[in-house]
Amino acid sequence: MLQPKKTKFRRSQKGRMKGNSQRGNQLAFGSFGLKGLENCWLTAQQIESARQAISRCMNREGQIWIRVFPDKPITKKPLSTRMGKGKGDPEGFVCPITPGRILFEAEGVSLAIAKEAMRLASHKLPIATKFIVRRDYVE
């Protein structure tokens, strides 16, 4: 599971996710990519299950790049706890996603295999996604 080795602070504030992605919104490594089209918090478990779906569909050929990393701690208070008594304990890590963010990239497989792999990965994610191809890609 992806998570930071060490964080400066155990708990963080929620923050706001408004506007489109200003960084990480262009293909940088591979010829194929999966682009997020909505706002969400991607958990480490969701990223890992999508990665497994891609690598299994590609039969471990080619390369995969994960372009997101869950580094935001999320806290939860126990059930049936009254208000007050401070912020809850850290439960896991998430990655805030804004529209336009590239989530995964792939290289070294055919267009059909990459498209199917990204389709399977998109079913593991809680947001709408789009399959994209590098502009200068030639089969």
Each residue's pLDDT tens digit, 15-53: 999 999 999 999 999 999 999 999 999 999 999 999 999
Q: Could you report the per-residue pLDDT of 104-121, keeping only the tens digit for each?
A: 999 999 999 999 999 999
CATH code of residue 96: 3.90.1170.10
Residue 139 in this model has a pLDDT that exceeds 80: no
Instruction: Tell me the residue range of the domain where 65 lies.
Output: 32-75+88-133
Classify residue 8: in a domain, yes or no.
Answer: no
Q: Is 106 exposed, middle or buried (0-12, 13-18, 19+ CB in 10 A)?
A: buried
Classify residue 139: in a domain, yes or no.
Answer: no
Nearest to 124 by CA among 40, 5, 19, 31: 40
Classify residue 55: in a domain, yes or no.
Answer: yes
Percent of the chain with pLDDT over 90: 96
Classify residue 15: in a domain, yes or no.
Answer: no
Classify residue 50: in a domain, yes or no.
Answer: yes
Classify residue 67: in a domain, yes or no.
Answer: yes
Give the number of domains in the chain.
Answer: 1
The model's pTM: 0.92
What confidence tier does 89 reach under pLDDT thresholds 50, 70, 90?
very high
User: From CA 79, how far away is CA 13, in angstroms rounded?
Assistant: 20
- Model pLDDT, residue 53: 96
What confidence tier does 138 reach under pLDDT thresholds 50, 70, 90?
confident
The alpha carbon of residue 105 and the mean position of all alpha carbons in its chain are separated, in whole angstroms, by: 11
**Average pLDDT estimate for 62-87:** 94
99 forms bridges with which residues in the sheet? none
Average pLDDT, the chain: 95
Classify residue 26: in a domain, yes or no.
Answer: no
Residue 61 in this model has a pLDDT that exceeds 80: yes
Classify residue 23: in a domain, yes or no.
Answer: no
**Average pLDDT estimate for 82-90:** 92
